[in-house]
Amino acid sequence: MTINKEVEFNNIISDILKNEEFIDLKYEIHHGISRLDHSLNVARLTYKTCKKLHVKNYEEVTRAALLHDFFRTEDVPEKCFLNHPDKAVENAKKNFELSSVQENIIASHMFPIARVTPKHVGSWIVSGADKAVAIYECTKYKVPLTIGAAFLFFMNVCFIQR
């Protein structure tokens, strides 16, 4: 990213990174790294994708991307793991102002395997970015993230089951 974009990205998320409950995600393991680092990777890819696609509410979407996995593993029983977006919404609402768009972005990020459907462009972007980043983190396979995101976005559209 250019320095200007790097500065803007940091300004958008800076208050979230000062929240003690949120930065405790650095102690949670997620795809072999910390959940804080995973969330930052998804937020960064989301920001870049929004800028490329000229998404007007890119700040709102980028913040929701950072908050999409705001939960502690111990608060989500293993057999209920697909409910973790609900816990992330709850935690995000408790600590920050959350718009209805941001709520849908977080709640639907596990689409299509979880029950909530993405209703906004930002929801589709974050859902795709999360999957692309997850594959990258899990495999360390150096597929360019934009190609991975495009592929997963396509897969999401193809496998809509409702």
Where do contacts with Fe ion occur on this chain (CB under 5 A)? 69, 130
Q: What is the per-residue burial (b if ≥16 Cβ within 10 Å, else e) of 10-21?
A: eebbeebeeeee
Nearer to Fe ion, 3 or 141 (CB): 141
Nearest-angstrom CA–CA distance, 119 and 134: 22
Closest CB to Fe ion among residues 30, 51: 30
- In contact, 91 and 71? CB cutoff 8 Å: yes
Please state, in angstroms and as integers, the Cα–Cα distance from residue 68 to each residue in 2, 4, 141, 145, following that order: 25, 25, 23, 18
**Cβ(59)–Cβ(51) under 8 Å?**
no
Q: Which is nearer to Fe ion, 28 or 59 (CB)?
A: 28
CB of 4 to Fe ion, least distance (A): 27
Q: 138 or 160: whose CB is closer to Fe ion? A: 138
Nearest-approach distance from CB 63 to Fe ion, in angstroms: 15
Considering the complex, what minimum distance in angstroms separates the CB of residue 85 from Fe ion? 6
Closest contact distance (angstroms) between CB of 68 and Fe ion is 6
